[in-house]
Amino acid sequence: MKTFYIIANTDKDENLRLSHEIAAYLTSQGKRCVIRRQEQEQTVLHSQLSTEEVDGILVLGGDGTLLRAARELADRRIPFLGINMGHLGYLAEIEEQNVRSALERLIADEYTIEERMMLSGSVYVNGEEVEQDVALNDIVLNRSGNLRVVDYEVYVNGQYLNSFTADGIIVSTPTGSTGYSLSAGGPIISPTATMLMLTPICPHTLNSRSIVFSGNDRIRIRIGEGRRSGRDEACVTFDGDTCVQMKTGDHVDIRKSAEVTRIMKINQVSFLEVLRNKLSRS
């Protein structure tokens, strides 16, 4: 690799301390490096470095920082390496104390690349598409407005499946199975798999469980009528971002995205080993 782009979460990397250390080292090795604060517009990447020039993106912060970068640059197909400066890092593989050795292996091309499935979601309000976005972890519908449960009508490939009376619904990728979905009782799935998981959030029934679908399935979630034929409100988010307000009759269509996130793997550590280490620390 010759050209690197650093995206830094300045809440974690104060004054860009580690970013500048990394840039200085890469420059000393004859590499090109550009630093971008996470809060800067993504157009900085387009203006400073062309797609052909960027070999790898280093993301400093935590999983949340990498998730946002993956969504912003989904169409670029540039591989990411996450450097964890947070608490738990399933996506951010490298710890701060191991940065130098990781950079040496990148320069020597001693790494592999994993492709992670992403979701594509289209939000329809009053019958019109108002938002289309992608997510690496999950697309989540949550109740909004009055603090009461909402009826979510679920259709799979155009066929009605069930109505869930719940606080919300999570549709996650295998990568997202260790995130919000896990907290809501969903299964843990190997991140390189291709499938969709649907998990109700605090369902008002004793027999609601997560459901696993093929990666080729298409899911539609419609906001049902409120109690006494009233109007319910919900909010849909993509990886915890881009909140779009919805109401009774509106829906979101979710499917596997044509885009993937490419993750650079430095350590030949299995997913099970990473999972065991993270669970023992949580």
CA distances from 58 to 17, 51, 55, 97, 218 (A): 14, 15, 10, 15, 33
Q: What is the mean pLDDT of the chain?
A: 88
What number is the average pLDDT over the span 202-213?
87
- Residue 252 has a pLDDT of 98
What number is the average pLDDT over the span 256-279?
82
What are the beta bridge partners of residue 252? Answer: 123, 221
Tokens in use for 133?
């976005």
Compare 252 and 178 and report the one with higher pLDDT. Answer: 252
Distance of CA 230 to the CA centre of its chain: 34
Residue 275 has pLDDT above 60, yes or no: yes
Q: Rounded distance, CA 170 to CA 237, Å?
A: 10
Q: Rounded distance, CA 252 to CA 242, Å?
A: 14
C-alpha dihedral (3, 115, 183, 58), degrees to nearest 10:
0
The answer to whether the CB of 260 falls within 8 A of the CB of 118 is yes
- Residue 210 has a pLDDT of 93
Residue 35 has pLDDT above 60, yes or no: yes
Write out the catalytic residue numbers. 63
**pLDDT confidence bin for 196, thresholds 50/70/90:** very high
**125-130, long-range: CB within 8 Å, 24+ apart, which pairs?**
125/244, 125/245, 125/246, 125/247, 125/250, 126/249, 126/250, 130/244
What number is the average pLDDT over the span 131-149?
89
Tens digit of each residue's pLDDT (9 = 90 or more) over 56-109: 999 999 888 999 999 999 888 899 999 998 766 678 888 889 999 999 999 999
What number is the average pLDDT over the span 207-212?
87
- Residue 241 has a pLDDT of 87
- Residue 92 has a pLDDT of 82
- Residue 278 has a pLDDT of 65
pTM greater than 0.85 (yes/no): yes
Among 2-6, 26-30, 255-259, the minimum mean pLDDT is found in: 2-6
- Residue 282 has a pLDDT of 56
How are beta strands 94-95 and 80-84 bridged, if at all?
parallel
